[in-house]
Each structure stands twice: as structure tokens, then as C-alpha cells.
Amino acid sequence: MAVPKRKHSKARRDKRRSSNWKLSVPVLSACSACGAAKLPHRACKACGQYKGRTVVTVADAE
């Protein structure tokens, strides 16, 4: 059975694990009603529409 001869440092261990925890950029799609960028399968934050229907009332921030 293979046994390590020396202890690996925490820095060496963390360097090896660094590539496994990368975050991915969320995919954005354009809203069909207003054209704003939104997450897919969610209501638009700008106009409140989802699949051509208004599902959320959005108050204008003025």
C-alpha cells in the first residue's frame, strides 16, 4: 500500500484544490417584453413579465 513519505503543506493542498471551486458566470437572456437582461425561467425584474404575462407588479423607483 502506498503511503506518503512527507506531509504536504496546506498551501500545496489548497493549490491543488483551487481549480475545483471556480464559480460559473450566470447565463442571462433577454426579456421578450422589454429587452432587459434576466435569468432564464424567472420573471423579469424590470417589467415583471414571465412568458408574456405580468406576474409581478414593479413599482418605478423614482
In a domain, 44, yes or no: yes
Quote the pLDDT of residue 61: 54
* pTM of the shown model: 0.56
The pairs formed by 49-53 with CB atoms below 8 angstroms and a separation of 24 or more are: none
Q: How many CB atoms lie within 10 A of CB 44?
A: 23
Strands (E), 21-62: 29-30, 37-38, 49-50, 53-54
Domain of 52 in residue numbering reads as 27-62
Distance CA 30, CA 40 (A): 9
Instruction: Dump pLDDT digits (tens) for 1-55.
Output: 899 999 999 999 999 988 887 788 889 999 999 999 999 999 999 999 999 899 9
Cell of 34: 422589454
In a domain, 7, yes or no: no
Number of domains forming the structure of the chain = 1
Amino acid at 30: A
